[in-house]
Amino acid sequence: MSAVSNFAPCSSGGRSVNSVGRDTMLRSSPGITARISWPFQNDAFRIPQLALGRSGSASKSPRIRMALVDERLARSGNVAKPSEILAYDLVQGALVRWSSVVAGSLPDPPTAVFLHGILGCRKNWGTFARRLAQEFPTWQFLLVDLRCHGDSASIKRRGPHSVASTALDVLKLVGQLKITPRVLVGHSFGGKVVLSMVEQAAKPLARPVRVWVLDATPGKVRSGGDGEDHPAELISFLSTLPKEVSSKRDILNALIQEGFSKEVAQWVVTNLRPTSPPGSFSSSSFSWVFDLKGIAEMYQSYEETNLWKIVEEVPRGVHVNFLKAERSLHRWALGDLQRIHAAEELASEEGGGVEMHVLEDAGHWVHTDNPDGLFRILSSSFEGVKT
């Protein structure tokens, strides 16, 4: 299994490989090799040739195909600068192969895109993606830092900072990487982003794509109950804190004192990064890796964005899966569930698909509350794919 990254990882849970230089082979644990490489940028981005809808004429073009993990390029050191769109990791199964010859000489490796929620980062999905790569070694998994989050916060993006603009960022990235996603997974805010990706991508889709919306609905956003996160309140409180702090523990205690759960507090402080360079012996302070003002705009857009239309008029070849966390009671109204079930019946008649799932023994943080259950449910999207 290999991991390709275009930026150093954000400070977050889960094991990760640091980006230490161009095309460097690292061994993070026995049997796992990581190559740090960067994508080419000399191809213009065009919406009709996005991963979700590539024309037949494009696939027959005699243009040279980009190789993300290509031994010949690695030895020559002929790589381009990091992506200027979004920071990402590409976790690849051991059997993934890329073509470096003429387009179409090898099929695309099946790819899944994983998107985090508000105040998260791509590393939230790291452990889960590596598990998937071991179980499904012909697949690769693109983990993205959304705009204003993690390492992407240093990449200046034009406003408005909305669900739609965030989705367009990801579409541009997969277009730049010449990746054709077969699976899109978004948690919370990321759930609306993957729906917006489908709405904005070329139609009809070139081949089927499965969309997973994890513990989010297409419309009205409802705050969590006691013991769950309250993003608007959390963003508001974080805006009162200094941009540079001397202790993670002080911030952790301040969040808990303010009434946020210990789990939420621990998750938030993973967004603090030492300001001193690695290896420095000077006393270190910490700064936030996110753009909080931009994130506030994104969360407001999340509350205001209504994507029921894409669910109730799901395009042919698209299968939308909603996953409700069993203990996430306040996010789901009876009307939401009834509307999704009605869309299920309509989609089956129109050649698309809508399906509802429930993850038992889990609150909103589905990939940490019950990773085994989530793995079992999502695995259906990766089984039986011809490569």
Mean per-residue pLDDT, 193-205: 83
Instruction: Pick from 11-25, 112-126, 211-225 the range whose average pLDDT is largest.
Output: 112-126
Domain endpoint, select from 260, 292, 324 = 292
Residue 260: partners with Cβ closer than 8 Å, 6 or more residues away: 229, 230, 234, 237, 268
* C-alpha dist (Å) from residue 45 to 91, 210, 318: 23, 23, 23
Mean per-residue pLDDT, 131-145: 96
Is residue 193 within 8 Å of 146, Cβ to Cβ? yes
> Does one domain contain both 114 and 186?
yes
> Does one domain contain both 127 and 272?
no
Mean pLDDT score of the chain? 77
Number of domains observed in the structure of the chain:
2
> Does one domain contain both 181 and 304?
yes
Domain endpoint, select from 262, 292, 322 = 292
> Does one domain contain both 337 and 199?
yes
> Does one domain contain both 280 and 301?
no
pLDDT exceeds cutoff 70 at 122: yes
- pLDDT category of residue 152 using cuts at 50, 70 and 90: very high
The token pair at 228 is: 């769950």
- pLDDT for the residue 229: 60
- pLDDT for the residue 156: 86
Domain endpoint, select from 292, 321, 336 = 292
DSSP code at position 8? P
DSSP bridge partners of 35? 25
- pLDDT for the residue 124: 92
Report the C-alpha gap between 49 and 206 in whole angstroms. Answer: 10
- pLDDT for the residue 207: 64
Instruction: Tell me, yes or no, whether 350 lies in a domain.
Output: yes
> Does one domain contain both 120 and 190?
yes
Instruction: Tell me, yes or no, whether 159 lies in a domain.
Output: yes
Report the SS3 class of residue 34. Answer: strand
Instruction: Tell me, yes or no, whether 66 lies in a domain.
Output: no
* C-alpha dist (Å) from residue 157 to 165, 205, 291: 9, 28, 11
> Does one domain contain both 210 and 159?
yes
pLDDT exceeds cutoff 50 at 243: yes
Report the C-alpha gap between 157 and 73 in whole angstroms. Answer: 30
> Does one domain contain both 126 and 251?
no
Instruction: Tell me, yes or no, whether 78 lies in a domain.
Output: no
> Does one domain contain both 286 and 355?
no
Q: What is the pTM of this model?
A: 0.79
Mean per-residue pLDDT, 351-363: 88
pLDDT exceeds cutoff 60 at 39: no
- pLDDT for the residue 331: 78
Residue-range definition of the domain harbouring residue 275? 231-292
Instruction: Tell me, yes or no, whether 267 lies in a domain.
Output: yes
**Span 206-233, pLDDT tens digits:** 568 999 999 999 999 876 554 556 788 9
> Does one domain contain both 187 and 327?
yes
Query: Where are the strands (E) in 215-352, listed by range?
Result: 244-245, 272-274, 286-288, 318-325
Instruction: Tell me, yes or no, whether 129 lies in a domain.
Output: yes
pLDDT exceeds cutoff 90 at 347: no
Query: Residue 273: phi, psi to the nearest 5?
Result: -125, 140
> Does one domain contain both 208 and 274?
no
Is residue 152 within 8 Å of 109, Cβ to Cβ? no
DSSP bridge partners of 244? 287
- pLDDT category of residue 18 using cuts at 50, 70 and 90: very low
- pLDDT category of residue 107 using cuts at 50, 70 and 90: low
Instruction: Tell me, yes or no, whether 58 lies in a domain.
Output: no
Nearest of 291, 250, 252, 292 to residue 269 by alpha carbon = 252
> Does one domain contain both 301 and 286?
no
Instruction: Tell me, yes or no, whether 358 lies in a domain.
Output: yes
**Span 314-332, pLDDT tens digits:** 888 899 999 999 988 677 8
DSSP code at position 152? G
Domain CATH code at residue 171: 3.40.50.1820
Nearest of 93, 96, 151, 97 to residue 123 by alpha carbon = 151
